[in-house]
Amino acid sequence: MPFAHLGEVVDEMAPIARAFHGTGHRVYLVGGVVRDLWLDLPLDPATDIDLTTDAVPVETKAIVGPIADAVWAQGERFGTIGFRIGGRAIEVTTHRSEAYTAESRKPHVAFATEIDTDLSRRDFTVNAMAIELPAGELVDPFSGVSDLVGGHLRTPLGAVTAFSDDPLRMLRAARFAARYDLAPADDVVQAMTEMADRLDIVAVERIRDELDKLLEVDDPGDAFLLLHATGLLRRVLPGVAAALDRDDQAPVRAVGQADPADDLARLAALAWWDTSDHRLAGVRAWSARMRLPNAVADSLGAIVVGAATVGDALAGVPASRRWAFRTGQQRQRALDLALRVDHDATHRLMVVLDHLAATEDLDDPGVPLDGSDVMELLGIGPGPRVGQALAHLRDLRFEHGPLSVSEARAALESLSMR
When the beta carbons of 32 and 221 are compared against ligand ATP, the nearer one is 32
Contact string 98-117 vs ligand ATP (x = CB under 6 A): -x------------------
d(CA 149, CA 22): 36
By CB under 6 A, is residue 31 in contact with ligand ATP? yes
CB 20 to ligand ATP: min, Å: 19
Q: Does 140 bind ligand ATP (CB under 6 A)?
A: no
Which of ligand ATP, Mg ion, none sits in contact with 174, Cβ below 5 to 8 A by type?
none
In the region spanning residues 260 to 289, those forming contacts with ligand ATP, defined by CB under 6 A, are: none
Answer for which of 118, 140, 166, 274 binds ligand ATP (CB under 6 A) is: 166
Q: 244 is in the binding site of which of ligand ATP, Mg ion, none (Cβ under 5 to 8 A by kind)?
A: none
Partner whose footprint covers residue 169, from Mg ion, ligand ATP, none (CB < 5 to 8 Å by kind): ligand ATP
Interacting stretch for ligand ATP, rule CB under 6 A, among 134-142, 166-174, 187-195, 338-346? 166-174
Q: Is 32 in the site for ligand ATP (CB under 6 A)?
A: yes
Burial status of residue 134 (CB atoms within 10 A of its CB: 0-12, 13-18, 19 or more): middle
- Footprint on this chain of Mg ion (rule: CB under 5 A): 32
Per CB under 6 A, 156 contacts ligand ATP: no
For ligand ATP (CB under 6 A), the number of binding residues is 12
> Which residues is 194 bridged to in the sheet?
none
Instruction: Please identify, among the stretches 55-63, 164-172, 251-259, 309-317, the one whose residues bind ligand ATP according to the rule CB under 6 A.
Output: 164-172
Which of the residues 207 through 226 are near ligand ATP (CB under 6 A)? Answer: 213
What secondary structure letter does DSSP report for 342? -
With respect to ligand ATP, which residue has the nearer C-beta, 122 or 321? 122
Region of residue 379 (phi > 0: left; psi between -120 and 50: alpha; otherwise: beta) = left
Coil, helix or strand for 80?
A: strand
Closest CA to 10 of 130, 116, 127, 145: 130
Calpha distance 211→394 (Å, rounded): 41
Report the alpha-carbon distance of residue 104 to residue 97 in Å, rounded.
Answer: 14
Report the nearest approach of ligand ATP to the CB of residue 11 (Å).
21
- C-alpha 79/C-alpha 52 separation (Å) is 10
In the list Mg ion, ligand ATP, none, the entry touching 333 (Cβ below 5 to 8 angstroms by class) is none
118 in contact with ligand ATP (CB under 6 A)? no
Closest by Cα among 267, 235, 269 to 253 = 269
Quote the CA–CA distance of 245 and 239 in Å, as a whole number: 10
Please give the Cα distance from 356 to 350 (Å, whole number): 10
Round to whole Å and give the CA distance between 263 and 286.
16
Q: Which residues bind ligand ATP (CB under 6 A)?
A: 31-32, 50, 99, 122-123, 127-128, 166, 168-169, 213
